[in-house]
Amino acid sequence: MIEENIFQERPIPTCGKGLGPSDDGATLGEVPALGWRLLDEDLSLPVAVLDGARIEHNLRWMQDFIDRYGVKLAPHGKTTMSPALFQRQLAAGAWGITLATAPQVQAAYRHGVRRVLMANQLVGRGNMAIVSRLLRDTGFTFYCVVDSAANVDQLGEFFAAQGQRLNVLIELGVAGGRTGVRDLSQEEAVLQALHRWPQSLALRGIEVYEGVLKEATGIRAFLRRAVGRLKALARVEAFAPGPVLLSGAGSAWFDVVAEEFCGIDLDRPLEVVLRPGCYLSHDVGIYRAAETRIHAENPVARAMQTSLLPALQVWAYVQSLPEPGLAIVGLGKRDAAFDAGLPQPASHFRPGHDTLPRPAGAWQVSTMMDQHAFLRIDPADDLAVGDMIAFDISHPCLTFDKWRQLAVLDDDYRVVELVETFF
Amino acid sequence: MIEENIFQERPIPTCGKGLGPSDDGATLGEVPALGWRLLDEDLSLPVAVLDGARIEHNLRWMQDFIDRYGVKLAPHGKTTMSPALFQRQLAAGAWGITLATAPQVQAAYRHGVRRVLMANQLVGRGNMAIVSRLLRDTGFTFYCVVDSAANVDQLGEFFAAQGQRLNVLIELGVAGGRTGVRDLSQEEAVLQALHRWPQSLALRGIEVYEGVLKEATGIRAFLRRAVGRLKALARVEAFAPGPVLLSGAGSAWFDVVAEEFCGIDLDRPLEVVLRPGCYLSHDVGIYRAAETRIHAENPVARAMQTSLLPALQVWAYVQSLPEPGLAIVGLGKRDAAFDAGLPQPASHFRPGHDTLPRPAGAWQVSTMMDQHAFLRIDPADDLAVGDMIAFDISHPCLTFDKWRQLAVLDDDYRVVELVETFF
């Protein structure tokens, strides 16, 4: 378990964005005492904020969902890259943290994470060296995926030279997809390569990322193929001794993966590990759309009666109203994702006038530049320079990575915590 | 002038991406002694690298160009947000640094920058408070722009309460553009508001950002309008005593701005300040296209006989070759800009086999995900898992901001410096 005080004792950044005033040397643990309040304009805008209560809700929702299927959760940490949030995910019951790259694994390890599934190939000497250094801690458990004999041989040779043994999962992929073996002949080549490195590589299971597919039928077929290959490889004793891993699930199809991967009888210990990452902040774009489908189709999600809640917003000022129908807002491509739908105005607050935010008008971001957004409004709308607008976002991964710290707010818009990110 | 040792004494980050191995507590000043060499795979890939010699060339090229026009350079620091690079720009002769937001100004100030043009409106109490704190240092010179009476009144009231006086420039804008007063009646409203705050606001000049326009005729007309308004306001003594500022120029039209803004006779001291930012790294996309035009049209640039050189690349590994004609590369939307053209393969290196990179094949990035790129290749191409590919990029601003540090390479691909960024 991660010690909470490793976050509390770090200094408050002194030149980041979205911060309020603090003395040099003040620590993150002192943030609540500073009394920063968003609606009192204590923070520099734009600022990315997390709704503390909603984060807590989403955290428990997903762990509950996963528990109901009797599977395990390794939240994809690449979404937030925030070890303070990893800590909460682990404390809520997560089996481990999923990550995408060796530096991400290192950042998580340095903040206390001790079980990592890297749902990606480990390629290149510099990256292998990072993992190798972490593996000197025998309390650190690590898995990565392989999909080519070439990579297997590179890993085998590198870790043999270190006198270390690396846990790997075979990644299955689909035609037109991303990584992963496409067919039995590619799988066989990987298996043969693994046989060359019995001392330095341990085959622990099978991994898929179904999110490259876009409809349920194809996804179920892919997942069933994975289960079939898992059973076949178990039969021929291809896996190293110990529990076998079967892992899948991004943030859009975790329900289908849970359905397909639960209850598998393998005649030996099996750990089914799901890896959604975006549930923690959720969004009002691609993942709200995914959740609508989940609630329509998945009986367990429906029985839970509650849903994931969008918990991440970016607040920004109206900076200029240069023409009728146009507001320029201090929110740019450097502040929010713009690749899967532009930020959506959610609420509107006039400092010194309003006591609480009111719903935003039917405004639309039409263009984003590096540091500005063009907001189309009705010329009759009551909008003024200096007004604050809260934007909901689509695609949390590419919003989190715009921020080195995010402010966690309570229901009174007070900053109760700054969570740092390590991208 | 910035002290160089404030950069040298900072610790090497221990969990960032694109780094080589170092002991905890090692400093940036020790980086050259670590002997990291890109082609020896000492670094974790993906890594963003700057070609040290080309950066130096571009630095001198732009200062030379600016000097030939007898104007001043305030490089837009938002591009790199790297104070170590600001230091070099100032040492090469820059008048100051341009920035876009109050936190950016603070980051620059904290690293020694003492003259800043914020080419943006200063909006909101949190942002005004940042600037106000910096202005307590009377050695700090700061300008920002205004385009509305509302903002002028907000600034006037805030800085009056602090007993401080803020330098402002009126921003002119164009119909369909971004910020800036569109016409004389808007300008007049701003001027009238300024009259309400003579103690706390000082009108110092005029600012434009011509980059919202896309062709030379309209840009020249806009620039001439700015010169006309500058003269008219000078005639009626609208400006505070002291030198008057006239500022324009992004990274695409600085030649036209130099032509239009040089040699103005105002009957009082005038500082013409140009603000290109992307010249330092340049690119092979939008800014190479801009430079082709500049060399075709601008006699001073032609007379210089040399051009800006692309100096920023992102290197990544081939991670998987799952299907004929497709390579999956460990380079994602989190590593390089993707909004103005996708990264372009420039060279190719096989570790342990090649001694130097060779030109990349006619490969094309077709899709980028958060952490991956899909590279379309010829099935017959000699590409292997573990090969390194150097990608040229388009749009440096949205590439720099993906990195907390970039590696500066010498001609032997050795890391001679890590430059940190403060986004």
Q: Do residue A147 and residue B322 have CB atoms under 8 angstroms apart? A: yes
Q: Rounded distance, CA A101 to CA A99, Å? A: 6
Res. B1: pLDDT tops 80: no
Residues of chain B contacting residue A371, judged by C-beta atoms under 8 Å apart? 78, 100-101, 120
pLDDT band at A228 (very low <50, low <70, confident <90, very high): very high
C-alpha distance across the termini of chain A, in Å:
22
Residues of chain B contacting residue A22, judged by C-beta atoms under 8 Å apart? none
Exposure string over B120-142, b if 16+ CB within 10 A, otherwise e: bbbbbbbbbbbbbebbeeeeeeb
CB B49, CB B312: distance < 8 Å: yes
Cα separations (Å) of B184 from A112, A140, A231, B12? 61, 67, 77, 52
Mutate: best of A12, A44, A398, partner B, most B CBs <10 A = A44
Cα separations (Å) of B399 from A82, A132, A335, A397, B423? 21, 29, 14, 16, 12
Residue-level pLDDT at A319: 98
Residue B103: cis peptide before it, omega within 30 degrees of 0: no
Please compute the mean of the pLDDT values over residues B93-101 and round it to a whole number: 98
Q: Rounded distance, CA A351 to CA B124, Å? A: 9
Beta bridge partners of B143: B117, B167
State pLDDT tens for residues B301-349.
Answer: 999 999 999 999 999 999 999 999 999 999 999 999 999 999 999 999 9
Task: State how far residue A276 is from chain B, nearest Cα, in angstroms.
Answer: 15
Please compute the mean of the pLDDT values over residues A323-337 and round it to a whole number: 98
Q: Which two tokens stand for residue B131?
A: 């600037």
pLDDT band at A11 (very low <50, low <70, confident <90, very high): very high
Least Cα distance to A146 among B152, B385, B27, B231 occurs for B385
State pLDDT tens for residues B148-199.
Answer: 999 999 999 999 999 999 999 999 999 999 999 999 999 999 999 999 999 9
Q: Do residue B101 and residue A17 have CB atoms under 8 angstroms apart? A: yes
Residue-level pLDDT at B259: 98
State pLDDT tens for residues A343-360.
Answer: 999 999 999 999 999 999
Q: Do residue A154 and residue B386 have CB atoms under 8 angstroms apart? A: yes
Least Cα distance to B394 among B307, B278, B292 occurs for B278
Half-sphere exposure of B236 (CA within 13 A, CB side): 9
pLDDT band at B94 (very low <50, low <70, confident <90, very high): very high
Residue-level pLDDT at A7: 87
% of chain B residues with pLDDT over 70: 99
Helices B125-135, B149-162: crossing angle, 10 deg rounding: 50
Q: Scanning the structure block, which residue is given the tokens 């795979």?
A: B41
| DSSP state for residue A337 in the 8-state scheme | -
Least Cα distance to B49 among B308, B251, B284, B316 occurs for B316
CB B167, CB B243: distance < 8 Å: no
State pLDDT tens for residues A37-51.
Answer: 999 999 999 999 999
Task: Output the CA angle B211-B271-B159, nearest 5 degrees.
Answer: 85
CB B95, CB B75: distance < 8 Å: no
Helices A83-91, A52-68: crossing angle, 10 deg rounding: 50
The average confidence (pLDDT) of chain A is: 97
State pLDDT tens for residues A363-417.
Answer: 999 999 999 999 999 999 999 999 999 999 999 999 999 999 999 999 999 999 9
| B231 vs B24, more confident | B231
Q: Do residue B151 and residue A386 have CB atoms under 8 angstroms apart? A: yes
Q: From A173, which residue of chain B is nearest by alpha-carbon distance?
A: B322
Please compute the mean of the pLDDT values over residues B200-226 and round it to a whole number: 97
Contacts of A210 (CB under 8 A, 6+ apart): A219, A222, A223, A248, A249, A250, A253, A256, A257
Q: One-letter amino acid identity for B352?
A: G
Q: Do residue A78 and residue B371 have CB atoms under 8 angstroms apart? A: yes
Task: State how far residue A278 is from chain B, nearest Cα, in angstroms.
Answer: 13
Task: State how far residue A333 is from chain B, nearest Cα, in angstroms.
Answer: 8
State pLDDT tens for residues A277-321.
Answer: 999 999 999 899 999 999 999 999 999 999 999 999 999 999 999
Residue-level pLDDT at B7: 87
Q: Do residue B178 and residue A372 have CB atoms under 8 angstroms apart? A: yes
List, in sequence order, the alpha helices (H) in B267-366: 286-297, 299-304
Q: Do residue A323 and residue B121 have CB atoms under 8 angstroms apart? A: no
Residue-level pLDDT at A205: 98
Pairing of β B97-99 and β B115-121: parallel
Res. A1: pLDDT tops 60: no
DSSP string, A345-408: EEEEE-TTT-SS-EE--S-EEEEE-SS-EEEE--TTS---TT-EEEEE-S-SHHHHTT-SEEEE
Phi, psi of A9 (to 5 degrees): -85, -10
Nearest residue, CB atoms, A323 vs list B120, B126, B175: B175
| Count of positions (residues) in chain B | 423
Query: What are the DSSP E strand ranges found in B285-359?
Result: 312-323, 326-329, 344-349, 358-359
Residue-level pLDDT at A101: 98
Q: Which two tokens stand for residue A400?
A: 């989190």
Please compute the mean of the pLDDT values over residues B86-109 and round it to a whole number: 98
Contacts of B37 (CB under 8 A, 6+ apart): B412, B413, B414, B415
Contacts of A104 (CB under 8 A, 6+ apart): A77, A78, A81, A118, A422, B17
Q: Rounded distance, CA A407 to CA A12, Å? A: 12
C-alpha distance across the termini of chain B, in Å:
22
Residue-level pLDDT at A3: 63
Residues of chain B contacting residue A370, judged by C-beta atoms under 8 Å apart? 78, 100, 397-398
Residue-level pLDDT at B45: 98
Q: Do residue A103 and residue B182 have CB atoms under 8 angstroms apart? A: no
Residues of chain B contacting residue A124, judged by C-beta atoms under 8 Å apart? 41, 44-45, 317, 351, 386, 388
Least Cα distance to B51 among B422, B418, B413 occurs for B413
Task: Output the CA angle A307-A311-A315, nearest 5 degrees.
Answer: 150
Q: Do residue B78 and residue A123 have CB atoms under 8 angstroms apart? A: no
Contacts of A166 (CB under 8 A, 6+ apart): A122, A131, A135, A142, A144, A155, A159, A200, A201, A202
Query: What are the DSSP E strand ranges found in A173-236?
Result: 201-208
Residues of chain A contacting residue B211, judged by C-beta atoms under 8 Å apart? none
Task: State how far residue B354 is from chain A, nearest Cα, in angstroms.
Answer: 15
Pairing of β B47-51 and β B405-409: parallel
Q: Rounded distance, CA B343 to CA B90, Å? A: 30
Task: State how far residue A180 is from chain B, nearest Cα, in angstroms.
Answer: 7
Burial class (CB in 10 A: 0-12, 13-18, 19+), B161: exposed
Q: Cβ atoms within 10 A of the Cβ of A350, count?
A: 15
Q: From A178, which residue of chain B is nearest by alpha-carbon distance?
A: B328
Residue-level pLDDT at B6: 81
% of chain B residues with pLDDT over 90: 96
| B281 vs B24, more confident | B281
Pairing of β A312-323 and β A388-392: antiparallel
Alpha-carbon torsion, ordered B351, B357, B361, B363, to 10 deg: 70
Q: From A83, which residue of chain B is nearest by alpha-carbon distance?
A: B15
Residue-level pLDDT at A358: 97
Q: Do residue A45 and residue B127 have CB atoms under 8 angstroms apart? A: yes
DSSP string, A403-423: -SEEEEE-TTSBEEEEEE---
Res. A263: pLDDT tops 60: yes
State pLDDT tens for residues B40-49.
Answer: 999 999 999 9
| DSSP state for residue A113 in the 8-state scheme | -
Q: Which two tokens stand for residue B57?
A: 């060339």
Q: How many CB pairs under 8 A join A and B?
A: 223
Task: State how far residue A265 is from chain B, nearest Cα, in angstroms.
Answer: 30
Residue A357: cis peptide before it, omega within 30 degrees of 0: no
Contacts of B116 (CB under 8 A, 6+ apart): B96, B97, B98, B99, B105, B108, B109, B140, B141, B142, B143
Burial class (CB in 10 A: 0-12, 13-18, 19+), B341: middle
State pLDDT tens for residues A41-87.
Answer: 999 999 999 999 999 999 999 999 999 999 999 999 999 999 999 99
